């Protein structure tokens, strides 16, 4: 970008900050990301802005967003479900352990996966317990 373009861009932004980035980019003959960067650099970027686009329509940019909830809506049911799954995994692990030597060779991987899943599930439950 030349010095003339930079000067024209800054002048246009200060004179008409309500114009959209694309509209200013078309006037000054630069790209719209360049206009956005200049807007930020000059401190003209606001939280909520009403701008006029290339088509002449006005639009609101930067609407406040709804804050996400910290926990699921039905937190008690989620904890109950995790507890039930942990109990099922523990029972399956116990059953596999009691099956004997023949089953150990065939289902060693299944037992290891069940034990790992149980540990992960219990760790997740500890994080979310109020």
**With 70 as the cut, is the pLDDT of residue 25 above it?**
yes
Rounded Cα distance, 19 and 13, in Å: 8
Which pTM does this prediction carry? 0.44
Given pLDDT bands bounded at 50, 70 and 90, which one contains residue 11? very high
d(CA 11, CA 35): 12
Q: Tens of pLDDT along 93-124?
A: 777 777 665 565 556 666 666 777 777 777 77
Structure tokens at 17: 């900050």
Handedness of CA 39, 40, 42, 46 (dihedral sign): positive
Give Cβ neighbours of residue 108 (< 8 Å, ≥ 6 apart): none
């Amino acid at each position: 970008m030349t010095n003339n373009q930079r000067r024209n861009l800054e002048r246009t932004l200060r004179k008409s900050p309500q114009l959209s980035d694309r509209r200013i980019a078309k006037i000054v003959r630069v790209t719209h990301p360049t206009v956005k960067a200049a807007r930020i650099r000059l401190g003209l970027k606001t939280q909520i802005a009403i701008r006029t686009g290339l088509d002449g329509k006005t639009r609101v940019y930067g609407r406040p967003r709804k804050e996400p909830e910290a926990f699921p809506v039905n937190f008690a049911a989620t904890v109950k479900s995790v507890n039930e799954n942990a109990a099922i995994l523990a029972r399956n692990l116990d059953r596999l352990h009691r099956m004997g030597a023949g089953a150990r060779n065939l289902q060693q991987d299944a037992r290891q996966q069940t034990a790992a899943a149980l540990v992960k599930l219990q760790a997740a439950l500890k994080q979310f317990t109020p």
